[in-house]
Structure 1
Amino acid sequence: MRGIWKWIGLAGVAGVVAGGVLVARDQRKRNSYTPDDIRARLHQRLAESGPAQ
């Protein structure tokens, strides 16, 4: 029974590490945008949303 808890703990640690990697990758992707890129994307999303009601 002790062995099962050991494997569950190791699986949990692996999940936390994998989650940290995904967060770091997402953060690098967000940091790669320039202010002009962000502004252009916001203007594009506003135009796609249609007229204000």
Structure 2
Amino acid sequence: MRLWKLLGLAGLAGVAASGAVLARNERQRRAHTPDEIRSRLRQRHAALAEVPDPAPAEERTAGRRRRLPRLLRRR
């Protein structure tokens, strides 16, 4: 019976700790103004736009075109 009590107390402590972490994260998330969030999103978008495309679309889909007939034949 003592083991069950210890497990129950450990479970309650885990729930309380996870609730505290979630509350802290929510407070940090809500601390930003909409303008700050908008500027961060624009910075991320600009950073992604600067990264070149690794391969043209034709090269990326060439393998798919060859595999599709083989997959259809197997069925």
User: TM-score, normalised on structure 2?
Assistant: 0.63
Match of 2:22 in 1: 23
Unaligned runs of 5+ in 2: 54-75
The alignment covers a number of residue pairs equal to 51
Separation in structure 1 between the aligned mates of residue 19 and residue 4 of structure 2, nearest angstrom: 23
Please say which structure displays the higher CA radius of gyration. Answer: 2
1:1-40 Cα shifts (integer Å, max 9, x gaps)? x101110110000000000000110111011100110001
Runs of 4+ in 1 over 2 A off after TM superposition: none
Separation in structure 1 between the aligned mates of residue 48 and residue 3 of structure 2, nearest angstrom: 52
Identity rate of aligned residues, in percent? Answer: 49
Separation in structure 1 between the aligned mates of residue 12 and residue 47 of structure 2, nearest angstrom: 42
Q: Give the aligned CA root-mean-square deviation in angstroms.
A: 1.2
User: TM-score, normalised on structure 1?
Assistant: 0.87
Unaligned runs of 5+ in 1: none
